[in-house]
Structure 1
């Protein structure tokens, strides 16, 4: 096989299958028929002289040869992105599509307004927010960058702290008006508690109730907005982000002098993306915007 036998389009299809681990998933990414993706992968494997994927009912898993090709394919992808950025880029403005992955609390209560302000200054920019109650997988290119509540311990990643944020026990006035008063931690016994489904807590930093000493959760969800809606509707007491409180009606913090939690947001990016000026500039605007928005909303809570 000569260097002329392998083209960017081959690598583009290979990357889509590697990241989605299926022909149908790759077809959605590429907007082509899955059968066409399968034929292209088969031809690529024939030209490479080695199987790139192990096929099974569970999907397409990369072989050792596929893993070796992945390194070079991602480098080619980064080189092409950098070239397009330099050719198309306009000094002082951001354009093109950027996808951000984030836990659903940040994605619902912070990112919409922060990203809207960035886009007002950059009308050619397209932003996609992937809100997931789990860690976003950057290695599969689920997003260009991700926000997390704890820094990853492994991987070739760029990690920077964005800002701290605070959480408190809170409840709706409609709930507090019809239940016994809470003046001490012991008074929480007998009250209905709202929180995460224990076996679906995807990051130890989210295990708020264990830290407080609460053992039983009467109303549970893996979604922060669901928990907050329950609180707003008078369903019970929950640990609430201070930055979410202004979006509710009649939400009151409980025992703020006794129970106050602090967590942090981190921006995580692919290490190879450090050379992409467009993403660097967007990251700066995003971090500055998130820090300012957390401060603004917490001041209102």
Structure 2
């Protein structure tokens, strides 16, 4: 163990989380040959193989699985020490990666990042606004905004905000199509919905809640692209009010009859939630959601 190097352990963690050498090297900002040498050096220092090299990627051996938990604990100690030094010098610096659904990240959070940057010039934010779930234990994100509260894992979760969704159509579509007076009229119209087998959470499966007779003619994997299809006249669609309200060419259809409520949850890992930079961004998100008030609900006519 005389040749043990912390950077080699960081390399091991990166490959263990990514499963592929090139992806891990990109995340670490080094070339893959350097990363490969660090893995080999660690295996040599420990006297054991940590990965099986397969065509599909790097798979942890039993010794690698055992080392992964220990390596994550060492990493958490290093992160905590760095944060204490920053706090002692009255600085909040470093990088916080925030994973969010695409509508929340793109429409709500991204326009507000300037406020955070102005108040914390040494803090870096990585915003990953994708229709997917994020693994905090694998360090895919430091904070995650999700549609469900996690039931397992060492997580801290709190409700960020409730929000409502409604039925929308392009004004041009509504003027040209058959009138919609009740929910029973909806099945006679074209619809835009999700690709069912690409739903990353059951919370997005809205249409059965409206009517079992609805069958979308256009299926799209993310809500922002769905909105653009609805705006283009492809059909009716269920959209978050905070996403649709900025587009005057969209009109709410049957707003009293079709009303769906969901919640955004803010999730942090138990090991890192109290780090100053993570805590600061968490508090910023909470304040912004609270200050938004009725923005997450249907605008008054």
Can you list the C-alpha shifts for 1:209-232, whole angstroms capped at 9, x where unaligned? 122124311111111110011112
Distance 2:185 2:91 in 1: 55
Relative to the length of structure 2, the TM-score reads 0.93
Distance 2:195 2:227 in 1: 14
Distance 1:107 1:78 in 2: 27
1:94-113 alignment to 2 at 5 Å? 94-113=92-111
Distance 1:156 1:88 in 2: 25
Distance 1:274 1:98 in 2: 11
C-alpha spacing 1:206/1:294, structure 2 compared with 1 (3 Å):
farther
Could you tell me which residue of structure 1 aligns to residue 251 of structure 2?
252
Could you tell me which residue of structure 2 aligns to residue 237 of structure 1?
236
Could you tell me which residue of structure 2 aligns to residue 199 of structure 1?
197
Can you list the C-alpha shifts for 1:26-70, whole angstroms capped at 9, x where unaligned? 111122221221222122112212211122111011122112211
Relative to the length of structure 1, the TM-score reads 0.93
Distance 1:243 1:90 in 2: 40
8 Å CA contact 1:45, 1:51 repeated in 2: yes
Distance 1:264 1:274 in 2: 21
8 Å CA contact 1:96, 1:125 repeated in 2: yes
Distance 1:116 1:247 in 2: 20
Distance 1:18 1:280 in 2: 27
Describe the SS at the equivalent of 2:292: helix
Could you tell me which residue of structure 2 aligns to residue 212 of structure 1?
210
Instruction: Choose which of 177, 186, 189 in structure 1 pairs with 2:187.
Output: 189
Can you list the C-alpha shifts for 1:262-286, whole angstroms capped at 9, x where unaligned? 0000111111013412211221111
Distance 2:30 2:123 in 1: 25
Pick which of 162-171 and 288-297 moved more: 288-297
Can you list the C-alpha shifts for 1:53-88, whole angstroms capped at 9, x where unaligned? 122111011122112211221122222222222223
Distance 1:198 1:254 in 2: 23
Could you tell me which residue of structure 2 aligns to residue 296 of structure 1?
295
Distance 1:177 1:91 in 2: 62
Deviation at 1:244, TM superposition (A): 0.7
Distance 2:5 2:103 in 1: 41
8 Å CA contact 1:167, 1:261 repeated in 2: yes
8 Å CA contact 1:243, 1:294 repeated in 2: no
